[in-house]
């Protein structure tokens, strides 16, 4: 199937209220352009250098999302243009994003990554750390970052009941925080293998790569 057909097949299964991030990591600009030509404007990448190269060369109305684990020393390279950072997983990273955003006179939207999977290889806050962070006065004073929601990845497993349970727990945390933080509007959960479940459990943003661009090496 072509990118066009893949994209259509995916968008046909996503309600209008859910935002699609087309995950283009490792994929060449020619394929991104194909998706762009079909109207897709949001792309997700997980390496700053690769994303920056694509940003420089591709149409300027693309919104680039950083979806992977982000090192603090890389923030400066994307601060000028990044549209949303999905995986903020430490207070120090948030502080660095704030600092670099200030240099460009920008307010960078961020999602806090929550650890919902059972594997300990996946990054993110636990519930207690998260509640501490959003209540922290030092962070509330940051003027150049805006925390707009949460992001999570479910366990890599065939057990879809478990995946559903993990998404449901993230959604309930999101709902709890949303009542206190008016900027909260985005719940990023769901990838090619589990996005339908994620949407059923309340996702507002799905990150889909291989179902659109084919599998990665």
Ligand X SMILES: *Cc1c(COP(=O)(O)O)cnc(C)c1O
Bridge partners (DSSP) listed for residue 152: 114
Least separation in angstroms between CB 195 and ligand X: 8
Closest CA to 78 of 106, 48, 110: 48
Strand ranges in the chain using DSSP code E only, listed in sequence order: 19-23, 42-45, 63-66, 84-88, 108-114, 145-152, 186-188, 205-208
Based on CB atoms, which residue is closest to ligand X, 133 or 191? 191
Q: Round the CA-based radius of gyration of the chain to a whole number and report it.
A: 17
Q: Which of residues 18-37 bind ligand X (CB under 6 A)?
A: 23, 25
Based on CB atoms, which residue is closest to ligand X, 162 or 192? 192
Site mask for ligand X (CB under 6 A), range 48-87, x = bound: -------------------xx-------------------
If you ran DSSP here, which 8-state letter would residue 54 be given? H
Least separation in angstroms between CB 192 and ligand X: 3
Based on CB atoms, which residue is closest to ligand X, 3 or 191? 191
- Tokens representing residue 133 in the block: 């962070």
Bridge partners (DSSP) listed for residue 113: 151
Closest CA to 211 of 17, 18, 38, 23: 23
Bridge partners (DSSP) listed for residue 187: 150
Q: Is 46 in the site for ligand X (CB under 6 A)?
A: yes
Selected binder of ligand X within 11, 162, 169, 192 (CB under 6 A): 192
Contacting range for ligand X; rule: CB under 6 A; set: 55-63, 99-107, 157-165, 191-199? 191-199
Position closest to ligand X via CB = 209
Q: Is 14 in the site for ligand X (CB under 6 A)?
A: no
Based on CB atoms, which residue is closest to ligand X, 25 or 104? 25
Check if the beta carbon of residue 124 is closer than 8 Å to that of residue 116: yes
Handedness of CA 151, 187, 185, 169 (dihedral sign): negative
Sites of contact with ligand X (CB under 6 A): 23, 25, 46, 67-68, 153, 191-193, 207-211
């Amino acid at each position: 199937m072509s990118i066009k057909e893949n994209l259509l097949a995916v968008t046909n299964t996503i309600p209008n209220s859910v935002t699609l991030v087309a995950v283009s990591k490792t994929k060449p600009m020619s394929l991104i352009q194909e998706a762009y030509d079909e109207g897709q404007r949001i792309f997700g990448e997980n390496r700053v250098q690769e994303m920056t190269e694509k940003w420089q060369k591709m149409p300027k109305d693309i919104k680039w999302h950083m979806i992977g684990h982000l090192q603090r020393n890389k923030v400066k390279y994307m601060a000028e243009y990044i549209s949303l950072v999905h995986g903020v997983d430490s207070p120090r990273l948030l502080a660095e994003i704030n600092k670099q955003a200030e240099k460009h006179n920008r307010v960078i939207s961020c999602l806090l990554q929550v650890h919902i999977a059972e594997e300990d290889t996946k990054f993110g806050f636990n519930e207690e750390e998260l509640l501490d962070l959003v209540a922290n006065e030092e962070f509330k004073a940051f003027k150049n970052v805006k925390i707009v929601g949460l992001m999570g990845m479910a366990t890599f497993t065939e057990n879809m009941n478990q995946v559903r349970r993990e998404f449901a727990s993230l959604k309930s945390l999101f709902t709890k925080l949303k009542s206190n933080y008016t900027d909260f509007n985005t719940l990023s959960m769901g990838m090619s293998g589990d996005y339908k479940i994620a949407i059923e459990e309340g996702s507002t943003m799905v990150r889909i790569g291989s179902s659109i661009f084919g599998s990665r090496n």
